[in-house]
């Protein structure tokens, strides 16, 4: 049952992604900087980000559990479809966020859009690996690819939030993540 153990990394990775992702940084007072009429308040933007990641994490965890419950090639394919769907939803939600109403709002939007593009590419790698899985050997190869790709996704998420911290000179986003109800329990502080 190597494939089960390897895919059980998925829920742990998802939890680690959330722990490393939403929030962090030093708290600073919000300046209330306006970046235009199409901007979303920093608080609403942070809520949307955390809600999207929470939904994705729940789906990834569920997919890992489904493989544990059904450690077959069909179970792997079903879980792969769930991961694909959840990742596509996350990517779409991130792309649809708009920009936060902060001094660095457009940079934050661009950074999150780049993450969404990377998620799309990694989701395609997962789907290809699962589509090409056949028999025990193929399933093991797919599990290895899926696991490695999920680690890459986790690294991409961490990098994105580090970039958000770097461009958030005024601490507006960090404050929004820390004050967000949707981020409660999933944010970290530095």
> What are 8-17's pLDDT values in tens digits?
334 444 433 3
Cα(184)–Cα(178) distance, integer angstroms: 7
**Contact, 157 vs 4, CB < 8 A?**
no
Token pair, residue 129, equals: 């690996």
Domains of the chain by residue range: 2-15+40-179
> What are 112-132's pLDDT values in tens digits?
999 999 999 998 998 888 888
The CB density around residue 38, as the number of other CB atoms within 10 Å, is 10
Tell me the helix, strand and coil percentages in the chain, rounded to 5. 75, 5, 25
Contacts of 190 (CB under 8 A, 6+ apart): 24, 25, 26
């Amino acid at each position: 049952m190597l494939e089960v153990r390897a895919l059980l990394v998925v829920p742990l990775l998802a939890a680690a992604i959330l722990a490393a992702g939403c929030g962090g940084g030093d708290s600073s007072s919000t300046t209330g900087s306006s970046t235009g009429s199409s901007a979303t308040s920093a608080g609403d933007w942070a809520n949307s980000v955390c809600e999207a990641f929470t939904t994705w994490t729940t789906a990834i965890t569920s997919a890992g559990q489904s493989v544990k419950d059904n450690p077959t090639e069909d179970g792997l394919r079903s879980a792969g479809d769930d991961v694909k769907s959840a990742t596509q939803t996350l990517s779409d939600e991130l792309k649809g966020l708009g920009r936060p109403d902060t001094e660095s709002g457009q940079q934050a939007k661009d950074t999150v859009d780049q993450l969404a593009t990377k998620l799309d590419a990694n989701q395609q790698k997962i789907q290809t690996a699962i589509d090409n899985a056949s028999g025990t050997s193929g399933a093991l190869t797919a599990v290895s690819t899926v696991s490695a790709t999920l680690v890459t996704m986790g690294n991409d998420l961490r990098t994105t939030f580090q970039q958000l911290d770097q461009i958030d000179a005024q601490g507006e986003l960090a404050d929004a993540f820390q004050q967000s109800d949707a981020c409660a329990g999933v944010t970290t502080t530095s």
